[in-house]
Amino acid sequence: MSINKIGVLGAGLMGSGIAQVAAVSGFEVKVLEVNEAALHKGLSGVEKSLSRFVEKGTLSAEAKAATLARLNGTTRMEDLAESDIIIEAIIENLDIKRETYAKLDSLCADHTIFASNTSSLSITEMMTATTPERQRRFVGMHFFNPVPMMKLVEVVRTIVTDDEAYAEACALGTAMGKTVVQTSDKTGFIVNRLLVPYMLDAIRVYEEGLASTVDIDNAMKLGCGYPMGPLTLSDFVGLDTTMYIANIMFDEFKEKRFAAPPLLKRMVQAGMLGRKSGRGFYDYSDPKNPVPLKLN
């Protein structure tokens, strides 16, 4: 693998996690943010996360110091010009991502691979903001939250990605300690393609009165060994985010199983967004003891 230097765009929830794992894995990492405050927030989050690994005894104090020495932040896009790969984790907005890729394209070396961590946008639509040469070196690298803990990365190829660039991105995922699954540029990739209809179905069966919130969650937790039930999971992900992804997937495939059920729409309209708003399928007034709400 010829990747040594990694540029990360965005030091939010995902970008800071990706930067952390890349630096722990021995790569030189430069993280770009929109301003010093956002950069400071992201990098201090990494420092805190690394300290927790040291406290748990899974990372030595020397390894933490070496990791932080490999990790640098910047607010100047020019500082990413030397990167062998750029992993982009900025806000989920196609226009902003395209604008950013177009600027980076003219700054970066010919060999630089561009990788997006998008959950729902088309890699192909992003890649066309760059030159045809770069388009062949454009992939998706979809990590999971929290990146330091979650072992999976979906590596996504488009219909024009060249084999060598794709193999490099896959090798990088492995070098970052993740299990790589290979997939192609269709909305939702593997995980959301299977997970989103499952969550929507759980809402549909609740809506039709098949069972209570708690019984649906317990059935899937205890009957299938899932770590949490689908309605708890929907609250955790955020009902607005769940509906947003469902809508994008429905638009792509035009299949009923991706259509947002009326109850989900009404909950979002009512501001019941799940854990983050305090109410969803459960009331989180006491976050440790969620109380199921009666919604039909």
Cβ burial 148-183 (10 Å sphere, 16+ → b, else e): beeeebbbbbbeebeeebbebbbebbeebebebbeb
Amino acid letter, residue 235: D
From candidates 13, 81, 190, 211, binder to ligand NAD by CB under 6 A:
13
Name the residue nearer to ligand NAD (CB basis): 198 or 215. 198
| Residue 33: active-site member | no
Q: Which is nearer to ligand NAD, 90 or 172 (CB)?
A: 90
Which is the catalytic residue, given 119, 120, 122, 234?
119
Token code pair at residue 262:
């009326």
When asked if residue 11 is in the footprint of ligand NAD (CB under 6 A), the reply is: yes
Number of residues that bind ligand NAD (CB under 6 A): 23
Among the candidate windows 3-11, 49-57, 154-162, 193-201, which touches ligand NAD by CB under 6 A? Answer: 3-11
CB nearest ligand NAD: which residue? Answer: 12
* Best CA proximity match to 124, nearest among 79, 163, 80, 156: 156
* CA atoms of 28 and 45, how far apart (whole Å): 18
Nearest-CA neighbor of 19 among 92, 60, 73? 73
Q: In the complex with ligand NAD, which residue's Cβ is closer, 112 or 213?
A: 112
Classify the C-alpha dihedral 32-276-196-288 as positive or negative. positive
Does 44 bind ligand NAD (CB under 6 A)? Our answer is: no
**According to CB under 6 A, which one of 71, 90, 113, 129 is a site residue for ligand NAD?**
90
Return the residues of window 124-183 that contact ligand NAD according to CB under 6 A.
Answer: 142-143, 145
The yes or no reply on residue 14 touching ligand NAD (CB under 6 A) is yes
- In angstroms, what CA-CA distances link 13 with 30, 43, 83, 129, 154? 16, 11, 22, 25, 18
195 binds ligand NAD (CB under 6 A): no
Which residues within the stretch 91-120 sit at the binding site for ligand NAD (CB under 6 A)? 91-92, 96, 100, 117-119
Q: Are 101 and 128 in contact (CB under 8 A)?
A: no
Instruction: Please identify which residue in 22, 24, 29, 32 interacts with ligand NAD, judged by CB under 6 A.
Output: 32
The 3-class secondary structure across 166-210, one letter per residue, is HHHHHHHHHHCCCEEEEEECCCCCCHHHHHHHHHHHHHHHHHCCC
Residue whose structure tokens are 């990360």: 8
Contact of 216 with 208, CB cutoff 8 Å: no
Verify binding: residue 15, ligand NAD, rule CB under 6 A.
Answer: yes
Among residues 28, 122, 142, 168, the one annotated as catalytic is 142
Q: Decide if residue 240 touches ligand NAD (CB under 6 A).
A: no
154 is catalytic: yes
Q: Which is nearer to ligand NAD, 122 or 213 (CB)?
A: 122
**Catalytic site residues?**
119, 142, 154, 192
- Give the footprint of ligand NAD on this chain (CB under 6 A): 9-15, 32-34, 38, 89-92, 96, 100, 117-119, 142-143, 145
